[in-house]
Amino acid sequence: MKITVDPFDVSSINNAIRQLSDYEKSLSKKSEELCERLADMGAMYAEWYFSGVMYAGDIDYKVTVDRVSESVYRIKAGGETVLFMEFGAGVRHGYGHPLAEQFGMGPGTYNPSSNNWSNPNGWWFYQGSSRQSIHTYGNAPGMPMYNAAKDLRKEILAIAREVFRT
Residues 6+ apart with CB under 8 A from 97: 86, 87, 88, 105, 106, 141, 143, 146
**Partners of 69 in beta bridges:** 72
Q: Domain spans of the chain?
A: 53-165
Taking only the tens of pLDDT, the chain with its 166 residues reads 788 888 888 999 999 999 999 888 889 899 999 999 999 999 999 999 999 998 767 788 999 999 999 889 999 999 988 988 898 877 666 678 898 888 888 765 665 555 555 556 555 565 666 667 766 667 789 999 999 999 999 999 999 999 988 6
What is this structure's pTM? 0.75
